[in-house]
Amino acid sequence: MYERRLAAEIHKSLEDTPVVFVQGPRQSGKSTLVQSLISEKYPAEYLSLDTAAALAAASADPEGFLGGFDGPAAIDEVQRVPALAVAIKGAVDKRRRPGSFLLTGSANVMVLPKLSESLAGRIELHTLWPLSQSEISEQTNSTSFIDHLFRDRFSPRGVEPVSFAALTDRMITGGFPEALERKNPERRAAWFDAYITAILQRDVREIANIEHAAEMPRLLTLLASRATSLLNYATLSRELGLPQSTLKRYVALLDATFMVRMLPAWSANLGKRVVKSPKIMLTDTGVLTHLLGLDKEGLRRDRTLCGRVVENFVMMELTKQLGWSDERCELFHFRTESGQEVDFVLEDRRGRLVGVEIKAKTSVEERDLRGLRTFAELTGERFHRGVLLYVGEASVPFGKNLHAIPLSTLWSD
């Protein structure tokens, strides 16, 4: 079983928060993680609403269902019975104690009105994504890459560089535990097919009734083909033949079920000089490459497309680390109207900014850092550091607070 770095953060929440909610994609390991947390220290009773008996009992009488627990309760896939939220609120208000409920869900709690509104002020959220590369490599005690970037002094760590072939393997496999276990590409592809079908035919329908359900697979594939691009609803609307209002609702549903993620633009007070549209990303590069029909050879042939997959890969690695890093940050992208851009911007609570640029090549040139230099000039004293991640071996300084470093630094000790 993989050790999950989010476990320590959840333990902290259980010590002082009545309701702890672990959300994330299906098959990301939520149930396994929650059951591993149940111990003498946290003696909760576990039930999954994916079982017919538990689902029927919770749906018929939510308050009576909760009354059957003698102590802390760990309830899996709680979004399947929205009425439980009101019952949980009542139980917490009647007896407010830390760790009363440990819940999981495969839909974002913020788009489930009964859950988010009923439990406001009583709940702490954690998002469990598919496995990060540090978890897969069992490097679970290292300082996160994000924490390293925000140190006052930056000294690139000596790491084992990742080859292009090894990187493509990591991207095509993705981070879902079951996909990782399937070494045969055909069997892994079958798992991805079944997974995507289950999300689109079950989870999306549980959240909302949609009138054009048959368009959801087409939409997801179209979004995959535009991964890391600016989200343009007008273009998508023309290609799919759907009204923009319907399209926006469908994209929101894919976001709510953790199939896609919108990366907002960083703009601050720079006014009209910057683009403010979000980028669209998929939350797992295994799913992304499967939807695009890409294998190792396909990525090797098309380096432009490969670069976009690498960018998506890095975005999700950073997103996963945000859940357990000591530095509390937000993640953005940056682009000026003239075309200068930085793939990722991290902003901490002090307002410090770190730019992260991605290049899917084995060597770098001065011109590869133009976006980072522009960003540094525009943000002045708030700019803390800029790094360029590339598929090379050496860490190279390019001036004050600018470095090119191996991409494997993302997950290495």
What is the per-residue pLDDT for 207? Answer: 76
The C-alpha atoms of residue 244 and residue 254 are separated, in whole angstroms, by 15
What is the per-residue pLDDT for 413? Answer: 61
The C-alpha atoms of residue 203 and residue 257 are separated, in whole angstroms, by 7
What is the per-residue pLDDT for 402? Answer: 95
What is the per-residue pLDDT for 312? Answer: 98
pTM: 0.94
* Residues β-bridged to residue 329: 348
What is the per-residue pLDDT for 111? Answer: 61
What is the per-residue pLDDT for 272? Answer: 60
What is the per-residue pLDDT for 179? Answer: 97
CB atoms within 10 A of CB 62: 20
What is the per-residue pLDDT for 152? Answer: 87
What is the per-residue pLDDT for 145? Answer: 92
Query: Cβ contacts of residue 380 below 8 Å, gap of 6+?
Result: none
What is the per-residue pLDDT for 34? Answer: 95
Residues in the chain with pLDDT values less than 70: 110-116, 140-142, 158, 212, 270-272, 413
- List of domains in the chain: 6-127 (3.40.50.300), 133-410 (no CATH)
Residue that has been written with the tokens 């709510």 in this structure: 256
What is the per-residue pLDDT for 212? Answer: 67
